[in-house]
Structure 1
Amino acid sequence: MLAEWAVNLMQTLGGVGAAVVVGLDNLFPPIPSELVLPLAGFSASKGVFSLPAALFWTTLGSVAGAVIVYLAGMLLGRDRTRRLVARIPLVKVTDFDKSEAWFTRHGTKAVFFGRMVPLFRSFISLPAGVERMNFPKFLALTTLGSLIWNTAFVGAGYLLGENWHRVDAYAGIFQKLVLAALALAVALFVATRLRHRPKPDPEATEVFRRVKQ
């Protein structure tokens, strides 16, 4: 059972175990972060490590896993990355295609918000690596997005204790809020660009009109 294995690993290795478990979420997407993160909070509530340590190690694991995936995308390129994804058990190539389309459409915002959406959080690093996104920016956005996501679920697991499994019931609501925030961010970006669009030069407009005549 995944939950039992994760708890045993955390009890054996402490914070390092939490980092390993969470990092695997990036390397093997079928491992759900919505499960392992509350378990880290539960372990913290039992005194395996402190709550700040749980947040530090889980975020470190998230970032480390994301960096490995980023480097894989950068070194392999799109076609070989896509073929590799097709060989991963329980993973569909369409998941990579959707993440790539999301990255193409939203750019750096996709890296930040993608850390808070299941499957996308694992795959979004691949197109970022393929497109050789600025690494310091990738690292900063990945760290911030991971910290927000991890704080929500580790904190919930810490507060619920033995009832950590109830976190899953609220995961869908949190994910919808993230997607709504992304849509709002895109809308504000477009509105700002349109508002500050340079006004046409009257003289240039007149010259263009005369040329057309």
Structure 2
Amino acid sequence: MIEKLLAVLSGFVIGVISNLGYGGVALLMAIESACIPLPSEVIMPFSGYLAWRGDMTLWGVALAGAVGCVLGSLVAYYAGAWGGRPLVEKYGRYVLISHHDLDLADRWFSRHGDITIFVGRLLPIIRTFIAFPAGISRMHLGRFVIYTFVGSFLWCYGLAWLGYTLGENWTGLKVYFHRFDFLIGAALLLGLVWYVRRHLRR
């Protein structure tokens, strides 16, 4: 089932980029950064393959991807700032999120938001959703945009470079990235279990 879904998403990604070029790269990465999990592990390596073929440039696709990430992240950021925070403050206790947790998150993003956003943009799964909690904590917008762009550019360039280097064999990357996604997902699940146990004990 998962393999079929990935195949459909991959076909969609390839079709959009083939028809829209740089605009398609930016659009897809914007969607991926707005908490909608499109596979950037397909978007950027395929773009790199097109650069290898001479249809686009490596720097161009990386820049388009990073700009798209910033635009999509702003959507998620404002969703968290305008809609997410009131919901968490009102209903958070039903999912074990207290005002104390919100205060901790606010202090964290105030002190360590820059490195959190930068590193978060370099991690599968986490990069898709990191902008939303930054918005809930109302991280400084200027710093949020800067570190989102820098981290996203490195991510996009790295994936595009792999696609460029592998050329027609770029599709072989998907297997390795899916394994890495599984490890990140397992780590997040363990963190969730720890979080629930800690709150239930309280």
Quick one: distance in 2 between partners of 1:108 and 1:53?
25
For the residues of structure 2 that align with 1:116 and 1:4, how far apart are their CA atoms? Answer: 24
Query: 1:151-176: CA deviations, max 9, x gaps?
Result: 11011011111111222355439x98
Residue in 2 aligned with 1:142? 148
Tell me, which stretches of 5 or more residues in structure 2 are unaligned?
A: 1-7, 91-100, 185-202
**Structure 1 residue 31 corresponds to structure 2 residue 38:** yes
Q: Which residue of 2 aligns with 1:109?
A: 115
Count of aligned residue pairs for this structure pair: 161
Please tell me whether the aligned partners of residues 35 and 76 of structure 2 are also in contact (alpha carbons under 8 angstroms). Answer: no
TM-score when scaled to structure 1? 0.66
Task: Say which of 9, 17, 25 aligns to 1:18.
Answer: 25
Question: What is the distance in 2 between the residues matched to 1:126 and 1:37?
Answer: 23
Q: CA shift at 1:16, angstroms?
A: 0.2
- Following the alignment from structure 1 to structure 2, what is the Cα–Cα distance between the partners of residues 150 and 120? 15
- Structure with the bigger percentage of helix: 2
Change (3 A) 1:37 1:82: farther
After TM superposition, the structure 1 = structure 2 runs for residues 49-198 of structure 1, keeping only pairs within 5 Å, are 49-78=56-85, 80=87, 104=108, 106-171=112-177, 172=180
Q: Deviations over 1:63-93 (max 9, x none)?
A: 111111111111113353799xxxxxxxxxx
Where does the alignment leave 5 or more consecutive residues of structure 1 unmatched?
Answer: 84-96, 177-213
Deviation at 1:60? 0.9
Correspondence for 1:210: none
Rg bigger for which structure? 1
Q: Which amino acid aligns with 2:87?
A: R
- How many Å separate the matches in 2 of 1:163 and 1:116? 23
Q: What is the identity, as a one-letter code, of the residue corresponding to 1:10?
A: I
Q: TM-score normalized by structure 2?
A: 0.69
1-structure distance, mates of 2:132, 2:89: 9
Amino acid at match of 1:154: A
Change (3 A) 1:77 1:4: closer
| Cα deviation code 1:15-36 (max 9, x no counterpart) | 0011111211122443221121
User: For residues 67 and 82 of structure 1, do their structure 2 counterparts lie closer, same or farther at Cα, with a shift above 3 Å needed?
Assistant: farther
Which string of whole-angstrom CA distances, capped at 9 and with x for unpartnered residues, describes residues 122-146 of structure 1? 1111111111111110011101110
Identity %: 32
Superposed CA RMSD in Å reads: 3.0
